[in-house]
Structures are given as structure tokens and as C-alpha cells.
């Protein structure tokens, strides 16, 4: 049998099948005609490749010539390479943990099965189960010999990607699948995962990141909760929502853009520390830093403020980084990011002045537009933009990209923060910070606004703006979460809130260039047929 190559066909319609695809379907038919189920129900696995390779001991387990071994295993996985040599064959078997070599012999399997089934009807990509013993070959490779049972567990009807051979001095030293096309990897993540160990490692690290974060918050006494994804009024951030309709209730609903307002309702209810790790949705553009569906961790702690939350954020992210790398230092886009050192704390307007030379604190929209458009030459500003949007654009273009090391940007203008408490010392500002790492916002936090009258005024202003920019056919009053205001009127304790973007954090901690590299199934344009 030869190593299989593939051109990645998109469709499996009979008219579009490649010669290899059709051959594999013919093989399936032949298997069924022989009474062999190409998709049996189960296989008893008691060992994995990495465990076998780590635990094999030559003194204990290497059998005498011609004798069966005592290290017996039952394994399963995908065939990734095959070498047939007359009455015997070697193939590589990949399971979740790694790859191990398997040795099969005609005399162990039976002539009919070996010659007419295994060598003729099994392919690279098929999933198989093996029972046998472990030994070390004369070439020094730990190998499983299929001596007791060998079964097909799933027939692969599509050929896997091409196999790349690595040679040294004319000898093949390594064989592996190679998938480098990003589009293909995102669309067919299932293939990307089984051929690229680096991809699997990224998502293992993402899982470890989330688990570590959850353990950290649990140990701090925070209660994990779940809040509604479908909401009658969307809030907690300024963003365009996804809208749907509930037929039975005949009412519009929105996929949440943030978890905030429901989590703070729980503080009103008497819980003093809550968090949620879940999906949020924003009907906006796609980029290497934005996906319409993304994962957030939001945490709210009563009787604390944003200064306390800065300290918690530092401790949390250092803990997560060390859990993944055993060091607080990571490499990202050619830069060494040190999360173990002192994190800078820079006020918003101070950062802008340092980057641009302009002091814009308490400047009006006209002045800020003049600076943005005429002095800084920013293309994405317009005369009708409000003050908050103008300041945000200046910050995003001139400050944020320069902040490589972890930096808390503090004390934002009130126009950018409708849910944050007014600054206790500085007019026109709120007690808010954003954590910027490697030029990207990673976290956002407030001393939470708990004055219901102040909150109503800000909601009304935000609703008018949102109706004008996003929902022009909607009454601004319908965009105000009256139930949340009612909750505040019962009294919410002073509190600090924190939101961390799990996807962006994973990008930095795993060194990935796009948010699509850390989301298993990112949203893509429809596939061209």
C-alpha cells in the first residue's frame, strides 16, 4: 500500500468525487460484502501512545526472540502512515496523546485477513483498534505488535491531507501530515486537529487557561453562575446585537453582548462575589482580533473598587500564565511579554498626551475632532462623531499599539463608560481601567455605578445615541433596561467588576496571530461551491 495524497475536495456529491474517494467507497462496499462492519460500536481502550512510550522498560517488557511480550495493551487511533513489506507491515497509529508504531504479520492475522482485507481495504486515515503486546524493534523503536485482535473501527471515505517526508542523508526520518492553508484549517478544523499536533496543543492550553481561571476565582470565594443568553433588552456594552424573535411570546429577543447587567442583579440579591465564563455575541465586523461569537469571563465583587480589582487581575493573569508555561514570560509577535514584573498604571488622558503631545482632558468634541483630523491625520474620524467616539479613536490609534508590556490604562472619560462610577477626585472621569497587553485590550474593569438616578441618566443618553446610530426605527425608551434600574433602586452594594476576553488572552499566551487560531470553529463566509 502506498502513502495517500489528497487535494481536499469540498463536496462529496458522486459527480464531484475524486478517484481516491470513489475507491474508498468501493472498499467500504467490499468490507460489508465480507461481513465486516466498517463502523462497529465500541472498542475497549486501556492505553495510549504517550503512556506506552513513557512506561516501556526494556529490562521488564522486552520479550525474548519469538516469544510474546508481557506488556499487553489495547489501543485505538487513526492510521497515519503505512509500510507493507510482503507478509508483514508497519503503520503509524495516532491517538489523542501522540503517535506509536504498530507491527502486523500475516501469520498473526491470518492469510485471508492480511492479504485480502488489511493490505487491500485499509487506508491511511482509517481508525482501527489493536490488541497486542509492546516490544522494541531492532531499529530501536517502541512498537505494538497486533497479536490478539485487529479491527477496523471507522472507514475513512475521504483521503487525509498529503504526507510530508523529512529526509536526512537520503533516509526518511519523519513522516507527517502537513496542513498549512489557513482557510482550510478554519473550515475543516476536524482535519486540522487530527493532523496538526500544534493545533491540539493550543486548544489544550486554552482549556487549561479556563480551568485555572475558574479554580482561581473559586478559591477567592466567587460563585460561578449562568445568566441569560437571550435577553429582551441588550446592555452592558455599546455594540450592535444579533436579533431574533420568540414566536410563542411574540416578542423580539437579542443575543447578549455582555453578561454585566444580570450579574450585577445578583449582587442586589445578596451574592457578594459572582462570575460567569460564557459566550457573548456582537453583530459587527470580523478581523484577526474580532469574532462575532466570543468568550468572556466577567466577575463582580461587592464592597470593592477598581483599584482592588487591578491587584486581583494581576494575580489572576500571573497565575494563569505560570500554569501554562511555568514562567510569567511569553513570546508574542516577536516580543517578550513579561507578566511577572511591575505593571504600569497610566491615566487615559496622560497616555494620550504622552503619545500625541496634546492635552485633551476636558476638551470639547470640536477641539478633539480638530486634533484627531487635522493634527493627527486620523482617517476614521468625522465631524458628527460624539466626544467619546473621538477620544476612543485617538486612543486606539496612537496609544494602544505602543503598550507592549502589561499596562493598566485608568480613569476614562465618562462618555466612554456608562456603567462605571464617577471618579471620586477628577471631574468628567470614571473609575475604570483597561488592561492592555501587546497592544491589545485584554481586560476591562470598573468601580461599578450603583446610583439608580445617575444610571438612568446615562442609559437615556446612551439609548438616544444608540437609536440614532444603530436602531433608528426603535424608540430609545425601548432600549433602556427598566428592570435593571428597578434592581438598582432596591440597592446594590458598592462593587468592582472585571471582564476578560478569553480569546485574546489565549492568543497572547499561546503566541497565535489570529483570534481564529484559538476558536475551534470561527465564523467564516459561506464556502464557495
The pLDDT, as a whole number, for residue 15 is: 62
Q: Which of 58, 87, 61 is nearest to 73 (CA)?
A: 61
pTM, two decimals, is 0.89
The pLDDT, as a whole number, for residue 244 is: 95
Identify the band that residue 7 occupies on the pLDDT scale cut at 50, 70 and 90.
very low
Predicted confidence (pLDDT) per residue in 131-169, tens digit: 999 999 999 999 999 999 999 999 999 998 876 666 777
Q: Please give the average per-residue pLDDT across 484-512, as a whole number.
A: 97
The pLDDT, as a whole number, for residue 358 is: 96
Q: Which of 49-63, 139-153, 458-472, 482-496 has the lowest mean pLDDT?
A: 458-472
Intervals of CATH 3.30.930.10 along the chain: 199-343+405-518
Q: Please give the average per-residue pLDDT across 188-211, as a whole number.
A: 94
Contacts of 193 (CB under 8 A, 6+ apart): 199, 200, 203
Contacts of 4 (CB under 8 A, 6+ apart): 20, 123, 124, 125, 159, 160, 163
Contact 309, 209 (CB under 8 A): no
Intervals of CATH 2.40.50.140 along the chain: 14-178
Rounded to the nearest integer, the mean pLDDT of the chain is 91
Look at domain 199-343+405-518 and name its CATH class. alpha beta
Q: Which of 172, 88, 75, 156 is nearest to 122 (CA)?
A: 156
| More confident: 91 or 182 | 91
**Helix axis angle, 197-219 to 502-510, nearest 10°:** 120
What cell numbers appear for 208 in the block?
487549561
Q: Does residue 271 carry a pLDDT above 60?
A: yes
Identify the band that residue 4 occupies on the pLDDT scale cut at 50, 70 and 90.
very low
DSSP assignment letter at 528: P
What SS3 state is found at 12? coil
The pLDDT, as a whole number, for residue 315 is: 97
The pLDDT, as a whole number, for residue 158 is: 93
C-alpha distance from residue 55 to each of 44, 60, 458, 521 (Å):
20, 10, 64, 35
CATH 2.40.50.140 corresponds to the domain 14-178:
yes
Cβ-count burial 211-225 (b if 16+ within 10 Å, e if not): ebbeebbeeeebeee
Q: Please give the average per-residue pLDDT across 457-479, as a whole number.
A: 75
Q: Please give the average per-residue pLDDT across 311-320, as a whole number.
A: 97
Q: Does residue 469 carry a pLDDT above 90?
A: no
DSSP assignment letter at 149: E
The pLDDT, as a whole number, for residue 5 is: 36
* Sheet strands (E) in 63-170: 72-85, 88-94, 99-105, 127-136, 142-154, 163-168
Amino acid at each position: 500500500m502506498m502513502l495517500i495524497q489528497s487535494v481536499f475536495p469540498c463536496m462529496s456529491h458522486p459527480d464531484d468525487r475524486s478517484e481516491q474517494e470513489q475507491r474508498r467507497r468501493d472498499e467500504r462496499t467490499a468490507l460489508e460484502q465480507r461481513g465486516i462492519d466498517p463502523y462497529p460500536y465500541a472498542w475497549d481502550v486501556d492505553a495510549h501512545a504517550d503512556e506506552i512510550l513513557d512506561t516501556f522498560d526494556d529490562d521488564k517488557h522486552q520479550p525474548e526472540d519469538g516469544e510474546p511480550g508481557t506488556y499487553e495493551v489495547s489501543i485505538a487511533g487513526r492510521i497515519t502512515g503505512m509500510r507493507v513489506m510482503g507478509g508483514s507491515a508497519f503503520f503509524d497509529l495516532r491517538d489523542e496523546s501522540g503517535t506509536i508504531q504498530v507491527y502486523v504479520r500475516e501469520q498473526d492475522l491470518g492469510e485471508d485477513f492480511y492479504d485480502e482485507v488489511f493490505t487491500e481495504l485499509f487506508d491511511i486515515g482509517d481508525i482501527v483498534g489493536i490488541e497486542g503486546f509492546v516490544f522494541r524493534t531492532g531499529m530501536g523503536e517502541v512498537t505494538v505488535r497486533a497479536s490478539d485482535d485487529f479491527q477496523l473501527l471507522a472507514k475513512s471515505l475521504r483521503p487525509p491531507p498529503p504526507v510530508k517526508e523529512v529526509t536526512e542523508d537520503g533516509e526518511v526520518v519523519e513522516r507527517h501530515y502537513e496542513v498549512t492553508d489557513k482557510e482550510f484549517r478554519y473550515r475543516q478544523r476536524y482535519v486540522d486537529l487530527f493532523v496538526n499536533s500544534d493545533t491540539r496543543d493550543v486548544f489544550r492550553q486554552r482549556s487549561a487557561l479556563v480551568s485555572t481561571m475558574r479554580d482561581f476565582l473559586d478559591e477567592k470565594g466567587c460563585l460561578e453562575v449562568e445568566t441569560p443568553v437571550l435577553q429582551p433588552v441588550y446592555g452592558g456594552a455599546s455594540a450592535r446585537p444579533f436579533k431574533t424573535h420568540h414566536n410563542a411570546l411574540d416578542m423580539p429577543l437579542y443575543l447578549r453582548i455582555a453578561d454585566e447587567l444580570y450579574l450585577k442583579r445578583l449582587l442586589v440579591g445578596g451574592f457578594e462575589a459572582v462570575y460567569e465564563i460564557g459566550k457573548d455575541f456582537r453583530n459587527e465586523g470580523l478581523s484577526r482580533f474580532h469574532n462575532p461569537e466570543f468568550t468572556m469571563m466577567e466577575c463582580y465583587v461587592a464592597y470593592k473598587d477598581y483599584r482592588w480589582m487591578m491587584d486581583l487581575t494581576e494575580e489572576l493573569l500571573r497565575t494563569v500564565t505560570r500554569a501554562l508555561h511555568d514562567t510569567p514570560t511569553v513570546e508574542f509577535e516577536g516580543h517578550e511579554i513579561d507578566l511577572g514584573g511591575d505593571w504600569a498604571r497610566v491615566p487615559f488622558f496622560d497616555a494620550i498626551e504622552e503619545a500625541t503631545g496634546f492635552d485633551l482632558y476636558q476638551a470639547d468634541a470640536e477641539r478633539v475632532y480638530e486634533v484627531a483630523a487635522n493634527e493627527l491625520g486620523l482617517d476614521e474620524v468625522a465631524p458628527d462623531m460624539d466626544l467619546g467616539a473621538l477620544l476612543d479613536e485617538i486612543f486606539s490609534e496612537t496609544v494602544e499599539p505602543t503598550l507592549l508590556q502589561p499596562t493598566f490604562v485608568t480613569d476614562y472619560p465618562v462618555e466612554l463608560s456608562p456603567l462605571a462610577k464617577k471618579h471620586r477626585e477628577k471631574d468628567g472621569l470614571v473609575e475604570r481601567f483597561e488592561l492592555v497587553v501587546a497592544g491589545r485590550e485584554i481586560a476591562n474593569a470598573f468601580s461599578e455605578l450603583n446610583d439608580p438616578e445617575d444610571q438612568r441618566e446615562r442609559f437615556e443618553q446612551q439609548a438616544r445615541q444608540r437609536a440614532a446610530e444603530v436602531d433608528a426605527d426603535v424608540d430609545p425608551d425601548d432600549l433602556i433596561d427598566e428592570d435593571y434600574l428597578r434592581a438598582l433602586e432596591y440597592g446594590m452594594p458598592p462593587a468592582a467588576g472585571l471582564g476578560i476576553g478569553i480569546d485574546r488572552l489565549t492568543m497572547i499566551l499561546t503566541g497565535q496571530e489570529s483570534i481564529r487560531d484559538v476558536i475551534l470553529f470561527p465564523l467564516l463566509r459561506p464556502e464557495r461551491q
